[in-house]
Chain A
């Protein structure tokens, strides 16, 4: 079955690193994504990783994928108050379910000055 789990809240101090975690259950996932949602807005794609990769770095963002444990994480270096938002991980499927993207519940990141 398809299930994506995230912890609901994370609070960090400005300048610290944030690590947001996600677990998924379906091993047929092809791509895994991280999205950011600011209050009252839609979702913005931050980054993605293909399921045969272990790590991807994009400026302050680092994505780590542990396929054996079906665990995905997003690390934000030097977290700023503007990073306060809800972060969603999502998994995409292959073949005839290729249109589906299943999301976790979202992690609300609060950055304190």
Chain B
């Protein structure tokens, strides 16, 4: 069991570029989420999914897209990167509503 795997670990983008942050879990968890972590602001929910084919917006969805075509994968797309998207991004999954999330190790993104 690898748990929740995020790639890449580090990324530098230029303003206006697009990219996809990958997230995969091998625990057959239904629920998956993407968070961003900024100093002094805790973790803010970007998008979440309660199963394959179902996604919903979190607190800060603007500038990001997600899709959930399989149970295992939940990629996060940055459409046109901006310096305000410089952050650490965490993907997480859990088997159901009553369980805590298992987190990946994060992707540190810098937009210049």
Enumerate chain A interface residues (CB-CB to B < 8 A): 4, 6, 8, 30-31, 33, 35, 41-45, 48, 50, 88, 92, 94, 98-106
A-B contact count (CB 8 A): 65
Residues of B within 8 A of A (CB): 31-33, 35, 40-45, 48-50, 56, 58-59, 90, 92, 96-98, 100-106
Contact check, A100 vs B58: say whether CB atoms are below 8 A apart. yes
Instruction: Using CB atoms, name the residue of chain B closest to A94.
Output: B97
Q: Complex formed: what's the CA distance from A95 to B3 in Å? A: 26
The answer to whether B43 touches A42, judged by C-beta atoms less than 8 angstroms apart, is no
State whether A42 and B104 are in contact (beta carbons under 8 Å apart), knowing that A98-B50, A106-B42 are contacts in the complex.
yes
- Distance of A8 Cα from B40 Cα, bound (Å): 8
Q: Report which residue of B35, B42, B49, B106 has the largest number of chain A beta carbons within 10 angstroms of its beta carbon.
A: B42
Q: How far is the CA of A33 from the CA of B97 in the complex (A)?
A: 12
Tell me which residues across on chain B come within 8 A of A41, comparing CB atoms.
105-106
Given A43-B43, A98-B97, 8 additional A-B pairs, CB 8 A: A48-B100, A50-B98, A92-B98, A98-B96, A99-B49, A99-B50, A103-B45, A106-B43
